[in-house]
Amino acid sequence: MALVPAICTQCGAQIEVDNTHEAGICKYCGTAFVIEKAINTYNVRNVVNVQSGGNTINITAADQSNKYIMMARKYKINGDSEKAEKFYTLALEGQPDNWEPNFYSTYYSVMRADDEEIPVKANQMQSSIVVSVELMKENVSDDGWITNICEMHGRLMNLSTCLFNSYRAYFIANRKYSNENRKYNYAVQAIVGILYRFGEQLEVHFSSNRQIMDMAVGSWKYALSIRQTFFAGKPIYNNSGNGDSKSSVRAEIEYYAGKIKAFDPAYKAPKAKGCYIATCVYGSYDCPQVWTLRRFRDDTLNGTWYGRAFIKCYYAVSPTLVKWFGNHKWFRAFWKKYLDKIVKKLNRLGVESTRYYDESFPY
């Protein structure tokens, strides 16, 4: 089989074809094409022209990358992350100074990462953000900044949520291994770092634009709401003493809370408030059962003196109980039986089990 270079006559992707066949299928867009025509297209588009002044340029790269971007946008709209990533990567070769392929080629790569790859991929996304925002500032007109930054903001908020939920589930499934606690804290730091870095880059390049800075502040707030789980998840996250201790996370939260308060003086940073036993039993601070209990705590118990006394006693005793017995199946099974009954009763009484953010959470 003789493979020769060609260009798909539908999407313009550079491919290799078997020139002993009459037709083929593009691996990028799935379109059938005549191989002879695809080979001829490749030869035509790779002609090198000599322009005035004696400068030699390839007429293919820039023109072809525009077509790649159009195809990438099509697959982005259709939700096909694999093909969107491929076409944005192809476009990047011809337009390395364009923020869009720089950003999305990495974004889709990170979005499709396996659980074990998440920490490394999240750090790659941080690096891409630095380059993409700088390119946007340099090469996009002022009237396009808001639209593009808003697009990036929404994508990064969604990406951070997906990565966090995925890695949290992965961690819970593997927490029997002692080194997973440290890996989890490192992963969360890399994930929230996406939102930290995005906000910082907006601050560097667009500090005088209040609408853009509102998105920077929103990113920092959401990052802190995720980082809050270090405290809320105390029953299953150990203090490794290797740069991810409770004190270092608190300092991190206070630093970004200070940046937020420069724009939103009324903002209150997340506090170390969680549902220790419930989180231990159900394996997550964010699940329907714990949302129900947290909502009942804040809306009902916190409204009476005896309810507040119960809350105070609970947070004085439960961390120690979970620290001593939280890794034992009998402890979780014992409490689950009672908590299931309480949750069902509260739901019958009208306490919702929908997503809930504590009073100190920004969202």
Pair 102, 214 in one domain = yes
Look up the domain containing 150 and give its range.
97-261
Low-confidence winner among 26-30, 119-123, 332-336 (lowest mean pLDDT): 26-30
- d(CA 209, CA 326) in angstroms, rounded, equals 48
Task: Name which residue leads in pLDDT, 32 or 252.
Answer: 252
- d(CA 75, CA 29) in angstroms, rounded, equals 9
Which two tokens mark 149? 């930054």
Q: Is the residue at 25 inside a domain?
A: yes
Kindly tell me if the per-residue pLDDT of 123 is higher than 80: yes
Pair 125, 208 in one domain = yes
Size of the chain in residues: 363
Q: Is the residue at 207 inside a domain?
A: yes
Cβ partners under 8 Å of residue 161, min gap 6: none
- d(CA 333, CA 331) in angstroms, rounded, equals 6
Q: Is the residue at 203 inside a domain?
A: yes
pLDDT given at position 39: 64
Burial 147-179 (b: 16+ CB within 10 A, else e): ebbeebbebbbebbeebbebbbebbeeebeeee
Pair 169, 221 in one domain = yes
Q: Is the residue at 353 inside a domain?
A: no
Pair 240, 120 in one domain = yes
Neighbours of 213 (CB within 10 A): 17
Neighbours of 128 (CB within 10 A): 21
pLDDT given at position 122: 95
- d(CA 338, CA 345) in angstroms, rounded, equals 11
Pair 214, 282 in one domain = no
- d(CA 297, CA 358) in angstroms, rounded, equals 10
pLDDT given at position 262: 92
Kindly tell me if the per-residue pLDDT of 147 is higher than 70: yes
Pair 233, 340 in one domain = no
In this structure, are residues 122 and 110 in contact, taking their beta carbons and an 8 Å threshold? Answer: yes
**How many domains would you assign to the chain?**
3
- For the chain, the average pLDDT equals 80
What residues pair up with 57 in beta bridges, in sequence order?
A: 49
Pair 322, 206 in one domain = no
């074990």: which residue's tokens?
A: 116
pLDDT given at position 232: 46
pLDDT given at position 242: 43
Pair 145, 243 in one domain = yes
- d(CA 257, CA 244) in angstroms, rounded, equals 18
> What percentage of the chain has pLDDT greater than the value 90?
39
Task: Name which residue leads in pLDDT, 271 or 115.
Answer: 115
Q: Is the residue at 79 inside a domain?
A: no
Q: Is the residue at 75 inside a domain?
A: no
SS (H, E, C) 41-108: HHHHHCCEEECCCCCEEECCHHHHHHHHHHHHHHHHHHCCHHHHHHHHHHHHHHCCCCHHHHHHHHHH
pLDDT given at position 357: 58
Q: Is the residue at 63 inside a domain?
A: no
Kindly tell me if the per-residue pLDDT of 84 is higher than 90: yes
For residue 16, the Cα-to-chain-centroid distance in whole angstroms is: 35
In this structure, are residues 24 and 35 in contact, taking their beta carbons and an 8 Å threshold? Answer: yes
- d(CA 306, CA 313) in angstroms, rounded, equals 10
Q: Is the residue at 271 inside a domain?
A: no
Pair 221, 134 in one domain = yes
Pair 255, 301 in one domain = no
Cβ partners under 8 Å of residue 327, min gap 6: none
Pair 107, 203 in one domain = yes
Pair 109, 229 in one domain = yes
